[in-house]
């Protein structure tokens, strides 16, 4: 319709010279010309970097795929790694991961029972996905978590329903990392909210207690907290009483995460304009109504990026338990290359472990971006 | 080195605790158990499993294999104790301990015994409150050089460049030894194990020094181990052995005599393969006493008289334990040979 109008308004000029549209303002070529080749120095940098990127990519593909060795023969339980040694780093020796992947993932858990920790990892991932879906953001989530965590406990320990009992020292690998971070953050987050509220309380005792907790825990490195839990704490217990090593580490990690998260949450509380508090008071809401319905929903939404930042940090910090001899994912990976036959193939193992961490952390970060966009929709103009 | 790390750890933990709880440090010694030092052994029997503190991963000594089963020289000592108690070497729970938390694990009763390449020193025996039950591996600091260099003894290293890790007794031992022997050397001090080995392999240093057991496993991991030689000289004493708590005399006796039993068995030619036959038909009086055909030696250790038969059947004698775990990582018997072969491993008589 508009075409007709336009044609009608501007009559066709048959005799005029046909001109090309200017090339260099749109399209890929134009963009490259403007951003990458605008002067001789930019051109030089582009070419140099381009050369390096291509070379490294080819080098990496050569090393990781083309020249790689994917498995080696095992004779009498001894892996024959001569093939891997012969290529002298020209290709990756993924055989170490092929041979050791079950140890890296599940540690010293009894070999024939490995389906149990595998199922536990699947359950954890399912739990994360379900919790991430907004459709489940209601009271249903509480029973879902309780049931899933109970099933996870039953699977790991066993001892009932015909499952053989597996003591905690034999747990290892990915389940340990997931248990430490999930339980740690699940308990640390409510604790952090309470502490953050407590720090802004007008009651002096509560306020002092919260300030003390946050400052003391933040002033001590996580490593020394873990040492304390593992080395000092048992000496204070009465003779013959031992608290599980994993539980002690779990408590230390939870307390540590709680202090950091509390400060993040407090930052959110402080950003809220005073008017919000006053308006809630004016409506006659009680303290908990005000906090639950007005303050926290807004404050937490504001601090999603730093919260996820802390979550991701803690997911990786759980690997510090290696100093107290708990076989989490990283420790199991480290231990798998202790065997003389496999010494020197650390890069392959660490790349694999790094990828596993990356998958979890990237998923968290991606999800938080979506969540942020979703929850702050009303702010965008 | 280990003692230093422990004290730092303790100071750290102590400081953290003191600030957190403002509580005085309680006495660290666990109370001596009642009942003639049999409390731990009774507890182990009642529980039905031995809890053994091992290394988190050290080639040849303690390490989980691809299927997550613990194997190694130290691990075999745990299996031997379980075999003596229940004729079942699998009744062990292994608690991996780090250099930092191994002593607390034993002091606090988290583990029943420590079989974790721990050097027997006076202070650990006394003020840490342990009883070392013997020396099952004589370790010591040595040197590795390239075979092509033609070095025969450590004294040939005058003027050499030597790779060493800092902050450990290794560095101190090297300096002391060089001063005592009037040897000039240039140290190359590198913190990380992989880097220090890399520096030696790439030729930045003529020699690399650390404990002989560590040298052997580094050597066996090289593409061509025969290109490297571990010199015969040993310049420090690192006697390793299992430890139990002070006051657990019964437990200490048992672990000690299992170690002697392994050595005695090797001396008398009793192996995993022939122990069943020796138990019934060997005519030598000492063998008959050891294997429980005559006398009551097992009963005196509060275990079955066939205790040593069970141990040897499942674990083998000392030579077999050594050969299974330490020979593959390139360790020679050296000072750990039997006294009859010029080594230091010696067992008191079984009578």
* Mean pLDDT over each residue of chain A, to the nearest integer: 84
Tokens matching residue B218:
């580094």
pLDDT for A31 equals 81
Nearest to A118 by CA among A162, A79, A156: A156
- Asked if B48 is an interface residue toward chain A (Cβ–Cβ < 8 A), one would say no
- Asked if A250 is an interface residue toward chain B (Cβ–Cβ < 8 A), one would say no
- Asked if B327 is an interface residue toward chain A (Cβ–Cβ < 8 A), one would say no
Instruction: Give this prediction's pTM.
Output: 0.79
Our measurement of the distance from residue B243's CA atom to the centroid of its chain's CA atoms, rounded to an integer in Å, reads 10
- Asked if B20 is an interface residue toward chain A (Cβ–Cβ < 8 A), one would say yes
Q: What is the CA radius of gyration of chain B?
A: 22
User: How far apart, in whole angstroms, are the C-alpha atoms of residue B197 and residue A329?
Assistant: 26
Residues in A 117-156 with any Cβ partner in B closer than 8 A? none
Nearest to B16 among A225, A331, A338 (CB): A225
> Which residues of chain A have a CB within 8 Å of the CB of B101?
227, 230-231, 324-325
More confident residue, A153 or A378: A153
> How many A/B residue pairs have CB atoms within 8 Å?
138
> Which residues of chain B have a CB within 8 Å of the CB of A322?
56, 98
pLDDT of A323 higher than 90: no
User: How far apart, in whole angstroms, are the C-alpha atoms of residue A254 and residue A303?
Assistant: 20
The answer to whether the Cβ–Cβ distance between A242 and B110 falls below 8 Å is yes
pLDDT for B18 equals 39
Question: What phi and psi values does residue A162 have, to the nearest 5 degrees?
Answer: 75, 0
User: How far apart, in whole angstroms, are the C-alpha atoms of residue B309 and residue B327?
Assistant: 24
ipTM of model: 0.76
Nearest to B307 by CA among B92, B120, B85, B6: B85
Residues in A 59-98 with any Cβ partner in B closer than 8 A? 77-79, 85-86, 88
> Left, alpha or beta for B205 (phi > 0: left; psi -120 to 50: alpha)?
beta
Exposure string of B305-327, with b = 16+ CB inside 10 Å and e = fewer, is bbbbbbbbbbbbbbbbbbebbbe
> Which residues of chain A have a CB within 8 Å of the CB of B70?
108
Nearest to B108 among A110, A235, A325 (CB): A235
pLDDT in tens, A161-193: 888 888 888 888 899 999 999 999 889 999 999
Q: How many CB atoms lie within 10 A of CB B224?
A: 8
- Asked if B295 is an interface residue toward chain A (Cβ–Cβ < 8 A), one would say no
pLDDT of A17 higher than 80: no
Nearest to A231 among B104, B218, B221 (CB): B104
Pair B265, B317: CB distance under 8 Å? yes
The answer to whether the Cβ–Cβ distance between B17 and A231 falls below 8 Å is no
Q: Among A2-11, A60-69, B23-32, where is mean pLDDT lowest?
A: B23-32
More confident residue, A291 or A82: A291
pLDDT for A166 equals 86
User: How far apart, in whole angstroms, are the C-alpha atoms of residue A3 and residue A81?
Assistant: 74
End-to-end CA distance of chain B: 40
pLDDT of A237 higher than 80: no
More confident residue, A16 or A18: A18
Tokens matching residue B5:
């790390």
Pair B38, B245: CB distance under 8 Å? no
pLDDT in tens, A185-232: 889 999 999 999 998 888 999 999 999 999 999 888 888 888 888 878
pLDDT of B137 higher than 90: yes
The answer to whether the Cβ–Cβ distance between A169 and B94 falls below 8 Å is yes
> Which residues of chain A have a CB within 8 Å of the CB of B57?
334-335, 338
> Region A315-322: what's the mean pLDDT?
87
Domains in chain B (CATH in brackets) are 38-136+242-331 (3.40.190.10), 139-237 (3.40.190.10)
pLDDT of A281 higher than 50: yes
Pair B71, A299: CB distance under 8 Å? no
Tokens matching residue A22:
């200017």
List strand residue ranges (DSSP E) for A145-225, in order.
none
> Which residues of chain A have a CB within 8 Å of the CB of B17?
228, 232
pLDDT of B252 higher than 70: yes
Pair A117, A175: CB distance under 8 Å? yes
Pair B100, A323: CB distance under 8 Å? yes
Pair B219, B228: CB distance under 8 Å? yes
Q: How confident is the model at residue A24 (pLDDT cuts 50, 70, 90)?
A: low
The C-alpha torsion from A274 through A279 and A284 to A288, rounded to 10°, is: -50
Q: Residues near B313 by Cβ (< 8 Å), separated by ≥ 6?
A: B83, B272, B275, B276
Shortest distance between the Cα of A323 and any Cα of chain B, in A, equals 6
Our measurement of the distance from residue B123's CA atom to the centroid of its chain's CA atoms, rounded to an integer in Å, reads 17
> Region B189-203: what's the mean pLDDT?
82
> Which residues of chain B have a CB within 8 Å of the CB of A216?
19-20
> Which residues of chain B have a CB within 8 Å of the CB of A100?
66
């Amino acid at each position: 319709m508009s075409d007709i109008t336009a044609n009608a308004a501007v009559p066709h000029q048959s005799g005029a010279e046909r001109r090309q549209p200017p090339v260099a303002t749109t399209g890929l070529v134009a963009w490259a010309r403007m951003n990458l080749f605008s002067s001789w120095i930019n051109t030089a940098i582009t070419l140099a970097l381009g050369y390096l990127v291509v070379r490294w990519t080819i080098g990496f593909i050569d090393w990781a795929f083309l020249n790689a060795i994917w498995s080696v023969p095992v004779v009498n339980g001894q892996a024959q790694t001569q093939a891997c040694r012969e290529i002298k780093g020209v290709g990756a020796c993924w055989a170490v991961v092929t041979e050791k992947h079950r140890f890296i993932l599940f540690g010293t858990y009894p070999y024939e029972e490995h389906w149990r920790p595998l199922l536990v990892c699947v359950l954890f991932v399912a739990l994360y996905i379900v919790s991430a879906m907004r459709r489940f953001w209601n009271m249903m989530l509480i029973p879902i978590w309780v049931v899933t965590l109970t099933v996870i406990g039953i699977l790991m320990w066993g001892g009932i329903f015909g499952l053989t009992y597996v003591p905690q020292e034999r747990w290892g690998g990915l389940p340990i990392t997931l248990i430490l971070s999930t339980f740690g953050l699940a308990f640390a987050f409510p604790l952090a909210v309470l502490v953050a509220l407590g720090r802004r309380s007008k009651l002096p005792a509560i306020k002092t207690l919260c300030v003390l907790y946050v400052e003391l825990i933040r002033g001590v490195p996580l490593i020394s907290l873990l040492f304390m839990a593992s080395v000092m704490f048992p000496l204070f217990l009465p003779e013959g009483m031992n608290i599980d090593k994993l539980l002690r580490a779990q408590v230390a990690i939870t307390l540590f995460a709680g202090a950091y998260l509390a400060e993040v949450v407090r930052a959110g509380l402080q950003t809220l304009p005073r008017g919000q508090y006053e308006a809630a008071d004016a409506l006659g809401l009680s303290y908990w109504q005000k906090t639950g319905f007005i303050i926290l929903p807004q404050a937490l939404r504001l601090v999603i990026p730093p919260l996820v930042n802390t979550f991701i940090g803690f997911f990786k910090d759980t690997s510090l338990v290696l100093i107290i001899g708990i076989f989490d994912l990283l420790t199991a990976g480290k231990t798998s290359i202790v065997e003389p036959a496999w010494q020197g193939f650390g890069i392959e193992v660490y790349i694999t472990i790094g990828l596993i961490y990356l998958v979890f952390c990237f998923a968290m970060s991606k999800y938080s971006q979506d969540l942020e966009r979703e929850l702050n929709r009303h702010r965008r103009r | 080195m280990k003692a230093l790390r422990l004290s730092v750890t303790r100071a750290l933990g102590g400081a953290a605790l003191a600030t957190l709880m403002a509580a005085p440090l309680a006495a660290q010694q666990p109370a001596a158990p009642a009942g003639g030092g049999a409390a731990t052994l009774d507890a182990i029997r009642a529980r039905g499993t031995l809890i053994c503190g091992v290394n988190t991963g050290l080639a040849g000594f303690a390490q989980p294999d691809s299927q997550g089963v613990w194997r190694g020289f130290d691990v075999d000592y745990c299996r031997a104790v379980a075999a003596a108690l229940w004729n079942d070497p699998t009744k062990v729970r292994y608690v991996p301990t780090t250099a930092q938390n191994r002593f607390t694990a034993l002091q606090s009763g988290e583990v029943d015994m420590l079989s974790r390449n721990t050097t027997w020193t006076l202070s650990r025996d006394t003020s840490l409150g342990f009883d070392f039950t013997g020396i099952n591996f004589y370790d010591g600091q040595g040197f590795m050089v390239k075979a092509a260099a033609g070095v025969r003894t450590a004294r040939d290293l005058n003027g050499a460049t030597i790779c060493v890790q800092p902050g450990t007794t290794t560095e101190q031992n090297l300096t002391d030894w060089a001063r005592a022997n009037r040897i000039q050397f240039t140290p190359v001090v590198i913190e990380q194990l992989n880097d220090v080995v890399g520096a030696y392999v790439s030729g930045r240093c003529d020699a690399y020094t650390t404990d002989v057991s560590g040298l052997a496993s580094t050597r066996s991991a090289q593409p061509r181990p025969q290109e490297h030689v571990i010199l015969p000289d040993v310049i420090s004493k690192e006697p390793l052995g299992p430890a139990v708590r002070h006051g657990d005399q019964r437990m200490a006796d048992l672990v000690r005599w299992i170690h002697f039993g392994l050595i005695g068995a090797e001396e008398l030619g009793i192996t995993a393969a022939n122990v069943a036959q020796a138990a019934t038909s060997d005519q030598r009086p000492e063998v008959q006493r050891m294997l429980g055909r005559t006398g009551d030696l097992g009963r005196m250790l509060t275990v079955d008289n066939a205790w040593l038969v069970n141990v040897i059947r499942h674990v083998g004698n000392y030579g077999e334990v050594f050969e299974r775990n330490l020979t593959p990582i390139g360790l020679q018997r050296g000072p750990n040979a039997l006294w009859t072969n010029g080594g230091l491993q010696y067992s008191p008589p079984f009578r």
